[in-house]
Amino acid sequence: MHWSMLGWSHHHTPLELREKLAFSTDQAQQFLKSFQQQFPETETVLLSTCNRVEMYCATDQSDAPSVDQIAQHIASFHQLSLTDIQSQAKGLEDQAVLRHLFLVAASLDSMIIGEAQILSQVRQAYELACESNTASSLMHRAFQRATAVARRVANETTIQRRRISVPSIAVSEVATEFFERFDDKKILLIGAGQMGVETLRYLLDAGAKRVRIVNRSLDRAQEVAKEFSIQADGWDSLHTHVATADLIVSTTSAPEPIMTAATFKQIRASRKQSVLILDLAVPRDFDSAIGQFADTYLYSVDDLQQVCDRNIEARKAEWPKAMQIVDQETQKFLSESRHAGTAPTIKKLREQAEQIKQEELKRLLDKLQSHQLNPQVEKELSYAFDRLVNKILHPPLQSLRENADSTHHASLLDALKRLFQISD
């Protein structure tokens, strides 16, 4: 069994090259089928995300594709120079491939350690390979185990529970503590830039239904509103919505505060219900004095960044535990794979021994037939032959089991085949 992986990731490949190497779903299917035509005995899975492009290969045959051949195939598909992409590539073989796959699936190799999106991307890559008929038993076992490893890391460590981006902290560790539910809350999003859209995604995932966006450019607000099925209004409606909102998220790039303490006090004068304000803008959109008003809870980027920093340190503390899980699962998978690889040989050895036993037992019973043996004696003789065969086979099979995790396993299996003249 041979494993290989060739990839380009955010660790060692600039975005400009990753963009050129990226595959759409249709391109990935086309590439996988093309590669299989050249290497029909090799199982393949292609993982293509914004941060990585990785080709995984597995085969039981001796003529496995080399990393150079994989690189050449990818370069040709994208009409790129092999020289330009080879120097940026990372190639792995055998045990290192499996360990890397488990690290990727568990989000321990991501740009943002612990982000949950990568596992679904790994699954999608595997499912696409299944649809393209380029993944079979070897990839099935490896990618199913990768999912199990990711779940262990998620369940047995707190790496994925510690948010480290300002928008995710704002929603998951501030807003969720303030509100028991979001579906009945009036939410005002001020600003339609990247920070606002990212925060909006977290709010919608948390169950928000009544979200309205206000932006200086109404066209941009309407664009975001259409994409996420929310309401959009012009800048002149800002004060109206601030007056009634339960939660305000502000993310503009205004050089000065868009809301002074005096204006806010006047707007909310008739509103007795509390309000949570997540001011994610730099410089701040809301005057810091607003946080002093009764029933008004104001958080700035600096407040949230402190939580981010604490969570980053907490993730680092969990790193050794997560890596231990990956290493355990890698060794376990390899041991199981080696043991599964010996099954055909062990089966043939037992069949061979059984055939010899039956022949010799029949020959002995035929000779003793004239003595009119008691059926119980015949049964005891059969038991004796069974015990003899089992005792002869026990030492070599025990050695195979005990060395399943060692580098000697392959040589022991080969020796067993030679000694007992077992052919594949």
Q: Which residues are catalytic?
A: 50
Residue burial 263-284, b: 16+ Cβ < 10 Å; e: rest: ebeebbeeeeeebbbbbbbeeb
Tokens of 341: 């690889």
- Of 206, 119, 130, 190, the closest CA to residue 154 belongs to 119
Question: DSSP label at 335?
Answer: H
Sign (positive or negative) of CA dihedral 172, 175, 177, 180? negative
Structural contact between residues 305 and 136, judged by C-beta atoms closer than 8 angstroms: no
What is the full DSSP assignment across 360-399? HHHHHHHHHGGG---HHHHHHHHHHHHHHHHHHHHHHHHH
Contacts of 360 (CB under 8 A, 6+ apart): 385
Alpha carbon 79 to its chain's center: 29
Max intra-chain CA distance, the chain = 118
